[in-house]
Chain A
Amino acid sequence: MSDILLEPPPSPFVDAKQHSEANHLGMWVFLATEILFFGGLFSAYTVYRWSTPEAFAQGSGHLEYWIGTVNTAVLLTSSLFVALADLAVKRDDRRWVTLHLAAAWLLGALFLALKAYEYNQKYLDHLVPGPNFDPHGGAPQVQLFMFLYFAMTGLHAVHMLFGLGALLWLLWLNHRGRVSSHRADAVAVVGLYWHFVDCVWIFLYPLLYLVAR
């Protein structure tokens, strides 16, 4: 009886190679889903920026340019560390796997901390959409821009949180010695996800922060 509480579940795979290929394909298909998930928001952004470019420029002017820029650097560096961790796994270097993953995790957390700081600034400036919104003399569509800003970066931040959880899981797996060059999938697959979240940010950064510049 294949019961989820019994360990280990019977594998549907004939060998490790097939299993590994399936894991990778599964993550790629999931990322295709994710692209369409963000795609709805990007479409909405495109439609409204096309119809009200001035309001979007005004809205963009309210964002902290330096936070967006620093965060881009932070996230790209974090992705670099995940890639280095993947290489370390492939040469069975557990110590460096831990160090690289920890560095990636800390940078991810720094990104979210800066994001939270920026959200708080927006709250204090009455730039959060809702009854207390103050367009600072701009068009009503500035609120639309700010709504999209919060929706897009918020959804991105939720993905970051899942990613940070996944990195913790990898650290735990590595601590228990369950990651090696023969079992490299977990790091590689989480790495794909982390790079994807990074890529989304690479699109968000110019669309949100650089409109007015």
Chain B
Amino acid sequence: MSLLVTPPEIETPMPSYLESGHTVRSWLLTLDHKRIGLLYMAAITFFFTIAAIAAALMRIELLTPQGDLVTSDMYNRLFTVHGVLMVWFFLIPSIPSALGNFVIPMMIGARDVAFPRLNLFSWYLFMAGGLLALYSILGGGVDTGWTFYTPYSSTYSNSHVMAMAVGVFIAGFSSIATGLNFIVTIHKLRAPGMTWSRLPLFLWSLYATSLILVLATPVLAITLVLITLERVFGVGIFDPKLGGDPLLFQHLFWFYSHPAVYIMILPGMGVVSETMAVFSRKPVFGYRVVAASSLAIAILGFLVWGHHMFVSGQSVYAGVVFSLLSFLVAVPSAIKVFSWTATLYRGQISFETPLIYSLGFIGLFTIGGLTGLFLAALPVDVHVHDTYFVVAHFHYIMVGGMVLAYMGGVHYWWPKISGRLYHEWTARIAAIITFIGFNLTFFPQFVLGYLGMPRRYHMYPEQFQTLNVLSTAGASILGVGYALPLFYLGWSFFYGRKAGPNPWGATGLEWQTASPAPEHNFETTPVVTTGPYAYPEGNDMP
């Protein structure tokens, strides 16, 4: 605990947000952004667990080449449940809605988000969408995959597509409300002196994320409306009988869903920027460039959706343009990786748990990003399209990137959330177990995909078994890595050592107030006079 700073004894006349009410009602009707953040956190943990169970069943099925545990039809439903819940009910709300809600107002020195009622309403929308999705799962599931491609979801649908689509539609409005709230909050509620160039990088990344949430999600919403209309009336604009084009569905879907990939990574990049600065005791290298690269990723992210349709009959010229634009996204992403690495250089590094997760993020995100370049190259994509190579690639981004960053963020802000410390060594070991389990699960899938194993099948030729067994073994280790924090963080919430306001010695505004945070965040409105990472000069390592 090299970083433990003795907490100054502060009298707190204002009760903490946890003490300001103990009834169920005080939680379910709260307008406090911190409580709403925790409501989100509880909800996404629940959905994550269901989606993880679906993944576990798939991995167990894939232990043997024969389809012996579940039928093909059941397998289709498993990967759909896994995809839908992980994307819309875990990854997209993970850092923005749970951690972002909790820390954004504190980081800018505000009392709450701009529209607290809308914030609570967005949680109820999220839960309504989630319950509809659960209903469709319990009612027999959906077999389209998370992408709802037509005509699987329209003409030839034989499962609960409607309930699932409406669930995702409603959850989409929850995303829009959250994004809108964040944009207005960051624009209008910054404390005196908190200029744009003093904004912590976590806020820059969430601002970029919010732009995507607000501008991409409505396109998904209208696409799902069109699918639903097609299901209700039996005719639709994606039906080739009428001259409709199923490829149009893919264009509309990926116009949302590719930017959504950046919803699932930009917030993680923000967490990494924060932890790099804190745990190497240095400002983030190239602050302005890192901030600008978040916006660049958000903007370029809107121009690359066509790379999902290289083999779907899209014009080859469109393919070439989308391929080039996809390569461009690598530039701001690489800038971030280099900046983080340069931040560590000659820093006073202490390997606390959040930093371990963030270092894992950098390595895994780099692999995920570089394999993304393989996939953006037209000829390579033709070879590995719809194979496990793609599965491995996006899991390196979404799990290796976002889930690790989310875990890092939860650990980093845990003292502010609970007012207590977790057991540091247990947490470090859990982080390392997660990292090892993750790599063992997904690295073999790159090889499997390159060798030609297609995704979304529950049977495979015998020569693929060794790699599949490795992957399943890795998944069980990963499961341990996910489960451990539930126990030690749960224990710490009630019995952990008191953290004090600023256990990491960090500079952010959220650390200048008590832990757990007071109900209104600050006793008096803070005034900002320095940049976000003003660590004292001259403490370089010799």
Residues of A within 8 A of B (CB): 1-5, 9-14, 18, 21-22, 25-26, 29-30, 32-34, 36-41, 43-44, 47-48, 51-52, 55, 129-131, 133, 139-141, 143-144, 147-148, 151, 155
Contact status A25-B219, CB under 8 Å? no
With A and B bound together, what is the CA distance between A22 and B110 in angstroms?
13
Size of interface on B: residues with Cβ below 8 Å to A: 56
Q: Which of B21, B188, B217 has the most CB of A within 10 A?
A: B188
Q: Does B184 contact A (CB under 8 A)?
A: yes
A37 shortest CB reach to chain B, Å: 4
Contact status A130-B233, CB under 8 Å? yes
Contact status A25-B183, CB under 8 Å? yes
Q: Which B residues are in CB contact (< 8 Å) with A1?
A: 20-21, 26, 30, 519
Contact status A129-B248, CB under 8 Å? no
Which label, helix, strand, loop or mixed, suits the secondary structure of the B interface? Answer: helix
Binding-face segment, B235-243, B392-400, B424-432: B235-243
Contact of B214 among A10, A33, A129 (CB under 8 A): A33
A133 shortest CB reach to chain B, Å: 7
Q: Which B residues are in CB contact (< 8 Å) with A18?
A: 188-189
Contact status B180-A36, CB under 8 Å? no
Contact status B189-A40, CB under 8 Å? no
Supply 7 further A-B pairs (C-beta < 8 A) apart from A1-B30, A4-B117, A22-B114. A3-B26, A9-B31, A25-B183, A25-B184, A141-B243, A151-B237, A155-B225
Taking CB as reference atom, which chain B residue is nearest A147? B237
Q: Does B229 contact A (CB under 8 A)?
A: yes
Q: Does B120 contact A (CB under 8 A)?
A: yes
Q: Which B residues are in CB contact (< 8 Å) with A47?
A: 245, 248
Residues of B within 8 A of A (CB): 20-21, 25-26, 29-32, 105, 110-117, 120, 176, 179-180, 183-185, 187-189, 214-219, 221-223, 225-226, 229, 233-237, 241-245, 248, 251-252, 255, 519-520, 525
Q: Which B residues are in CB contact (< 8 Å) with A2?
A: 30-32, 112, 116, 519
Contact status B243-A140, CB under 8 Å? yes
Q: Which B residues are in CB contact (< 8 Å) with A52?
A: 243
Return 5 A-B CB contacts under 8 Å, by A number.
A5-B29, A10-B111, A33-B176, A40-B226, A147-B242
Contact of B222 among A10, A21, A38 (CB under 8 A): A38
On whether A147 and B236 interact (CB within 8 A), knowing A2-B30, A12-B105, the answer reads: yes
Contact of B248 among A9, A44, A147, A155 (CB under 8 A): A44
Q: Which A residues are in CB contact (< 8 Å) with B244?
A: 48, 144
With A and B bound together, what is the CA distance between A55 and B244 in angstroms?
13
B238 shortest CB reach to chain A, Å: 9
Contact status A25-B188, CB under 8 Å? yes
A-B pairs, top 5 by smallest CB distance, nearest first, are: A40-B222, A37-B218, A12-B112, A2-B31, A141-B243
